[in-house]
Structure 1
Amino acid sequence: MRIDVYGTIVRLGAMLMFQPLDKLLGAYMREDHAKGVIITTNRPTGVQRFTAGHELGHMHMDHEPHADDENILRRAPVAGTYRQVPMQEREADAFASHFLLPRFLIEKHHHAHSLVERDYENPQTVYQASLRFGASYAATLLAFERENLISRPMRDEMRKVQPKDLKRDLIDDLQVENWSNRDVWRLTEKDEGLVIEANRKDIFVLKLEEHKGAGYLWTFDELKDAGFVILKDESEAFHNNLLGGPNRRYVLGDPSALPDGSYTIRELRPFDPTDDAQSLTVHVRTAAGGDPGLYAPQLDGLLRTQ
């Protein structure tokens, strides 16, 4: 569901490299007919991808070479001081926003998750959408404002919420010492077919409706056999006074050992495993940008031509 920003940079003829930059988020370089983009490995995936979109904008619009620091994260097109930002930087910002968060992608997410107007006022909705888009929380807020899903005052208010607090709310009492470059994916039945481009340190939280009263239980054997470590497994009835009614299964796990691949979990009766009530399939991919070096698909292509 993400826009392939890294592949686009390569297809437009630039070399793409990731390095642990100290004070810079990224840079666009050009010399004669050679072009290159460098992205830091020291920031979360959403920041990396927005920086890549920003540098792609410079390259696509034939701007002058430029190095970008954290200022590209702090400024906003709606801020009164934005007119003081150089024109080429404003153009690259706008390009990155529309390229990574186009209207059709926002609409697709809206319908897939059956969202309504008030859902967009929930910071958790914005945070989870940002993971699926591969954009930062702040960039996703701006895109929702751009598409008139939230107002500017609402965007300003929600911007005060720290993503770290949203992550903590999702994992309850699990202790995490370092949130750097780590996200929490909340997965439900509505994520059927989702491609999860996760960092190795990310956490999965599965919240699934389970018909335990009818003998059905969610099974996670395929995930566990592949290396998924369950850290917490609980269930809670939707309605405490409804005997035999559905409950919510809550599973929190560590996917760091999962190889890239497709995984299916199923709700079934243990005494009749052929009777599937429902299933959820997700496609797990390791997010690019975690390790220094040339962008892996580009490197593979160069090696094949040798």
Structure 2
Amino acid sequence: MAPLRPQQYQSVIAAASEVRDELGLSDEQPVDVFDAIRRRGLWLVFQPMDQVLGVTLNHGSGGIMITTRRNPALQRFTAAHELGHWEMHGTEDMWDFDADITANPSAPKELEANVFASNFLLPRRLLNRRLRDKHVGHDDPVTPKVAYEISRDLGLSYTATVNRIAEVRGLSAGVRRELLKVAPLDIKRDLLGGLEPKNSRAPVWNPAPEQIKDLVVDVGDEIVTTIPENPSTGYQWIPSGQSKSVPDDSASVIVVDSTFENSNQREITAQSGVATGAPGIRRFHLKANAAGEWSQELSLRRPFEPPDKSIDVQVLSGRVKPSPEAVSSQFNATPQVGTQ
């Protein structure tokens, strides 16, 4: 892939900055790209396209189609990529496949759209602020875990985030390659304490219990949190029934696993009945099943006792966002276009 010439590159950055400025977006806050498309006066629809990731069309007032067959992070980047096509190449229809977005595209217009998307979704000031929040100084190395957490927090892909970090930080090609060699799945396993994610493509979050109430995740995301526990007392943290949703009873986060890890780092399952006698932590693995607000009560009690015999209770709560396609029906009609 031949890089953009400096003049081209600066022109693309200027285009992304101009759109952000016209929309009144702060360079230190994440952007809702789907809302940005709506505010630019474009229609936006989601279709179950297998090979095509996104389409920019000039029919009528113009609009963008995004596949439903990819995860929300790739959908967001694809939407920003298509917005770049509209802003910079608005006189022609663009049909984008994996090679045009997720790989290193060779076509100049695809490369320009990728640069636009990266700068639009992750401007320099926002990236530097997130790095500071992770206690990464200007001369400190960026670890794969930090890159993953920034990508997850902003709803971007790991690859797109690493590429943007390399660009802003001026990382060498070798350092960039080393970061990209790390599989996000391995980082997720580490966040889950060695457990396997239920969905290898889903983001994994690891907040403290008191931080979950501020957590907003996508449908399918997985959450792991830990609470101190001492099995020698006979008491353990147990979920009290199913999670409750507010106000939609179909919306919930479910507990998919519970493990105990003692001070010697040995894990036993909650169902095994093995007691180590040493204090440790109870790790809860949860999955976001559907959109809505939710709460899950955990009670500290002996396994054979009912919940009303608990000696302590913690309530986990948070919010699951609707999928992008569920919130995109703010547009009138989809133009009739040919299939590809």
Identity of aligned residues (%): 29
Match of 1:141 among 155, 162, 186: 162
Task: Say how many residue pairs are matched.
Answer: 273
For residues 139 and 218 of structure 1, do their structure 2 counterparts lie closer, same or farther at Cα, with a shift above 3 Å needed? Answer: farther
Alignment map for 1:1-306 (pairs within 5 Å) = 2-31=30-59, 34-63=61-90, 64-71=92-99, 72-75=101-104, 84-86=106-108, 88-115=109-136, 120-121=142-143, 123-148=144-169, 150-171=171-192, 172-174=194-196, 176=198, 179=200, 182-189=201-208, 194-199=214-219, 201-206=220-225, 208=226, 210=228, 224-226=243-245, 227-236=252-261, 247-256=280-289, 258-261=290-293, 271=311, 282-289=318-325, 295-296=328-329, 298-299=330-331
Kindly state the Cα deviation for residue 184 of structure 1 after the two structures are TM-superposed: 3.5
Q: Which residue of 2 aligns with 1:78?
A: none
CA distance in 1, matches of 2:299, 2:132: 24
Kindly state the Cα deviation for residue 236 of structure 1 after the two structures are TM-superposed: 3.6
Whether the 8 Å CA contact 1:222–1:263 is kept in 2: the answer is no
For residues 250 and 108 of structure 1, do their structure 2 counterparts lie closer, same or farther at Cα, with a shift above 3 Å needed? Answer: farther
Q: Which has the higher contact order (CA 8 A, sep 6+)?
A: 1
For residues 211 and 175 of structure 1, do their structure 2 counterparts lie closer, same or farther at Cα, with a shift above 3 Å needed? Answer: closer
CA distance in 1, matches of 2:157, 2:312: 44
One-letter identity of the residue aligned with 1:196: V
For residues 142 and 224 of structure 1, do their structure 2 counterparts lie closer, same or farther at Cα, with a shift above 3 Å needed? Answer: same
Post-superposition Cα deviations, 1:243-277, rounded to whole Å, max 9, x if no partner, equal xx985442112221x5412658899996476xx9x
Kindly state the Cα deviation for residue 160 of structure 1 after the two structures are TM-superposed: 1.9
Whether the 8 Å CA contact 2:54–2:64 is kept in 1: the answer is yes
One-letter identity of the residue aligned with 1:203: E
CA distance in 2, matches of 1:204, 1:175: 10
Whether the 8 Å CA contact 1:2–1:132 is kept in 2: the answer is no
For residues 85 and 134 of structure 1, do their structure 2 counterparts lie closer, same or farther at Cα, with a shift above 3 Å needed? Answer: same
Higher Cα Rg: structure 1 or 2?
2
Residue segments in structure 1 that go unaligned for 5+ positions in a row: 76-81
Give the TM-score normalised by the residue count of structure 1: 0.71
For residues 259 and 36 of structure 1, do their structure 2 counterparts lie closer, same or farther at Cα, with a shift above 3 Å needed? Answer: closer
| Two-structure CA RMSD over aligned residues (Å) | 3.9
CA distance in 1, matches of 2:238, 2:150: 26
Kindly state the Cα deviation for residue 8 of structure 1 after the two structures are TM-superposed: 0.4
One-letter identity of the residue aligned with 2:45: M
CA distance in 1, matches of 2:168, 2:57: 32
For residues 173 and 134 of structure 1, do their structure 2 counterparts lie closer, same or farther at Cα, with a shift above 3 Å needed? Answer: closer
